[in-house]
Amino acid sequence: MSQIQQLYRLQQMDTEIRQKKQRLTEVLRAQRETEALLAAREREKTAVSTLKKWQSSHNNLSLELGSLNSKAKSAENRLYSGNVKNPKELTDLQDQIAAMGRQRGGLEEQMLEAMIMIEDAEAEAKAATEARTVEESQWQQAQADYKEEQNTLALRLHHLLGLRPKQAAQIEPKLLQDYERIGQRNGGEAVAVLKINRCQGCLLTVSANKVKEVVEGQVTHCGGCGRILVAV
């Protein structure tokens, strides 16, 4: 195998290493929790806390109503006990009972509102939990696939990185330096395939003389892109 062909093989290796590293970065990035999953969790958290707020509000109103009812009950007992003779006190008691009745109406109205809010909040919490569950299971399924791809990529990269120094050692240092230098200007592609008489790096037509040199295995640069030409 000519030096140029060895160089071309090195480039194929380098290209694969570059692509696999790039894909590995993407795969690692994709294993972070998605925006959709975070949003679904946030929605569920808000829904649950809203539900708790209304449940606690309903409980407090219920306690308040209970205590009001027992106060009203004892006022009524006293009113009808026959023990209160003073007309002023009787009128006061009647007024208090009436006031408590109005207060009870207000509390009952608030409780009804809380009940409606609880129903809405329960429906939202249920929907939010379902949405989060779906999002989480999709994410987990994707994780399993990514994990598998990550392992395959890591194994292949490990293999290639082990081979690369051996392949580079096959090439004369001067040619290897040219390869690095030309590669830096051309996105890592220092070697271009010559197809009939055309450079596949920049699609320029190459002179018959150069084609002959390439076929003979001499180091020949494309006049268009400067890459080292290889016949395959």
User: What is the binding site for Zn ion (CB under 5 A)?
Assistant: 199, 201-202, 222, 224-225
Shortest reach from residue 227's CB to Zn ion, in Å: 5
User: Of 11 and 50, which has the nearer Cβ to Zn ion?
Assistant: 11
Sheet containing 191-195: give its strands across: 198-199, 191-195, 228-231
Distance CA 115, CA 98 (A): 26
Shortest reach from residue 182's CB to Zn ion, in Å: 11
User: Of 118 and 190, which has the nearer Cβ to Zn ion?
Assistant: 190
Shortest reach from residue 46's CB to Zn ion, in Å: 59
User: Of 156 and 198, which has the nearer Cβ to Zn ion?
Assistant: 198
Shortest reach from residue 196's CB to Zn ion, in Å: 14
Distance CA 32, CA 43 (A): 19
Say whether 190 sits in a helix, a strand or coil: coil
User: Of 68 and 226, which has the nearer Cβ to Zn ion?
Assistant: 226
Shortest reach from residue 228's CB to Zn ion, in Å: 10
User: Of 61 and 194, which has the nearer Cβ to Zn ion?
Assistant: 194
Compute the CA torsion angle 81, 87, 89, 92 (nearest 10 deg): 100
User: Of 147 and 195, which has the nearer Cβ to Zn ion?
Assistant: 195
- Label residue 8 exposed, middle or buried (CB < 10 Å: 0-12, 13-18, 19+): buried
Tokens 């949003």 found at: 39
Distance CA 108, CA 65 (A): 8
**Which residues have C-beta within 8 Å of that of residue 172, sequence separation ≥ 6?**
3
Shortest reach from residue 221's CB to Zn ion, in Å: 8
Distance CA 179, CA 191 (A): 8
